[in-house]
């Protein structure tokens, strides 16, 4: 389950990197894929996903506080980021 989580998170980040042309996103995604195959790196990689998603979620919440309630797509992305972080917490706790 943890390896699957890392690979799915990496795939999502690679998709985002394609939209924003950020090489850093690709580097992070590649590190998550690498970690999926190295048992000693799984837990730190999951923590990095949790922090990454929480950072995005906090950024979106601040934007909502400043600009008001956004459209449904933006709220859906916020919900997915929070859920991804919660799944990561669960995976680390149950490892």
44-78 as b/e: b if 16+ CB within 10 A? ebbebbbebbbebbeebeeeeeeeeeeeeeeeeeb
* Chain centre distance of CA 94: 19
Place 39 in a pLDDT band, splitting at 50, 70 and 90.
Answer: very high
pTM of the model: 0.81
* Token reading at 1: 């389950």
* Token reading at 14: 């690679």
- Residue 28 scores a pLDDT above 70: yes
Place 2 in a pLDDT band, splitting at 50, 70 and 90.
Answer: confident
* Token reading at 6: 């890392």
């Amino acid at each position: 389950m943890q390896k699957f989580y890392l690979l799915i998170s990496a795939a999502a980040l690679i998709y985002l990197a394609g939209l924003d042309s950020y090489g850093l996103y690709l580097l992070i995604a590649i590190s998550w894929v690498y970690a999926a195959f190295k048992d000693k790196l799984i837990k730190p990689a999951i923590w990095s996903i949790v922090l990454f998603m929480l950072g995005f979620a906090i950024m979106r919440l601040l934007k909502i506080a400043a600009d008001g309630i956004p459209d449904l797509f933006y709220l859906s992305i916020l919900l997915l980021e929070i859920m991804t972080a919660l799944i990561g917490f669960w995976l680390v706790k149950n490892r």
